[in-house]
A and B are shown apart, each in its own frame.
Chain A
Amino acid sequence: MKIAIPIDENKEDTSICASFGRAPLFLLHNTETQTSETLKNPAADASGGAGVKAAQFLIDQGADILLTLRGGENAAEVLLAADVQVYKAQAGLARDNLTAFLEGKLDKLNRFHAGFHHKQ
């Protein structure tokens, strides 16, 4: 099982990123091999459609689970259609969220925002 988390920095005690689509990096943790890797988010500076592109990237990386503070409707549509399960993370360290998820302490995220583009 691969667990993805949007993160702010490439270091062990990085905080979870407030944004999903525009997070600079993703942490991808493989529960079978017990290894983690840090991946650059190709959607971080997209002019539009960042949620769709970031979600696509995670699917292509084979993610099964996403832990995030929030997410947009379009990203959710892509993730859910690809059977990625999205859980509501807590602000703080990415590491603590991973532990909380593995201990079954996080709930499913079932509210997604309508996106920020074209809002003036």
Chain B
Amino acid sequence: MKLAVLSGKGGTGKTFVSVNLAAAAKNATYMDCDVEEPNGRLFLKPTKVTSASVDTMLPSFEETRCKGCRQCVDFCRFNALAFIKGKPKVFETICHSCGGCLLICPHHAITETWHPVGRIERGSHEGITVITGILNPGEASAVPVIHAVLDDASAHEGHVVIDCPPGSGCPVLESVSASDYCVLVAEPTAFGLHNLQMVVELLMLLQKPYGVVINKIEATYAPLEDYCAQNGIRVLSRIPYSKKLAQINTAAEVAYEQDEESRKRFQALLQDIEAEVRT
């Protein structure tokens, strides 16, 4: 089972829920797809870490072969190529590495060059395989690193928990697309509800089953509860805003391993999700 944990808003507790679900699932794989700020590794502290580069392809042009026919420029649907003074030029931040220009060039004047955009770290923590995607600062697109994490062959046969980036844009869509079930973490605030609605819209488009975890509850926020009830959205768990959990989090510990109440809560949540996926 592949579980994606997401939220429109940042800071709702995606990593908290992901890390603890992975701990509850035992022999699971935790994938950090929040590649701009991967922080699950701060809690899971993986050991025996190995690292591999993530590279994307960029076209380069051999001047002697290029006849200036412009077919590559006109073919590029991403507008990543321009034709200036009889020669093609690539714009690195716009290129999607599709390789179309290589295929279309009748003079075989385009070759692939590889450009590092980030890296993947693999390690383990108490039987959990921890795979972390890390995007190099300044890179325009997180998607190639997210793909590399999701395709990583070191993932277990067991449950996979995908810790998604915040928002509802391309990086989230990529992270969610391979999942069997989505867990939406929402804060009981107007901001939390607004951004939950954006993610719900995305998942309706993708036709993914999902449920909601309300995190950091100080008092019931009726508009959020009403929204879930009126739209038939299951609230899977309600996690209080507690000093104890805050202390465990700021000490970078895993609540499942430190706190009996959390252990029971995340075991129940996982069983609940397993039952939802089976039906």
Contact = CB atoms under 8 A, between A and B. Distances in A.
A78 B91 CA distance: 10
B83 interface: yes
B169 A120 contact: yes
A74 B84 contact: no
B85 A81 contact: yes
A49 B94 contact: yes
Contacts of A48: 78-79, 94
A11 interface: no
Interface residues of A, number: 20
A52 interface: yes
B79 A78 contact: no
B79 A46 contact: yes
B141 A118 contact: yes
A79 to B, nearest CB: 9
A115 B141 CA distance: 13
B83 A56 contact: yes
Interface in B188-214: none
Contacts of B91: 49, 52, 74, 77
| Chain B interface, DSSP helix/strand/loop, else mixed | loop
A109 interface: no
A52 B79 contact: yes
A120 B167 contact: yes
Contact of A81 (B73, B80, B84, B167): B84
Contacts of B236: none
A49 B78 contact: yes
Contacts of A43: 79
B107 interface: no
Interface in B73-88: 73, 78-85
B85 A118 contact: no
Nearest to A117: B140
A91 interface: no
A43 B94 CA distance: 14
Contact of B140 (A46, A55, A118): A118
B89 interface: yes
Given A81-B89, A118-B140, A50 B82 contact: no
A55 B81 CA distance: 11
A117 B92 CA distance: 13
B11 to A, nearest CB: 14
A53 interface: yes
A59 interface: yes
A102 interface: no
B48 to A, nearest CB: 34
Contact of B82 (A78, A117, A118): A78
A74 B169 contact: no
28 contacts: A43-B79, A46-B79, A47-B78, A49-B79, A49-B91, A49-B94, A52-B79, A52-B94, A53-B79, A55-B82, A56-B79, A56-B82, A56-B83, A59-B84, A74-B91, A74-B93, A74-B94, A77-B91, A81-B82, A81-B84, A81-B85, A81-B89, A82-B84, A115-B93, A117-B94, A118-B93, A118-B141, A120-B167
* Cβ-closest 10 pairs across A and B: A49-B79, A53-B79, A49-B94, A78-B82, A81-B84, A52-B79, A118-B140, A82-B84, A56-B82, A74-B91
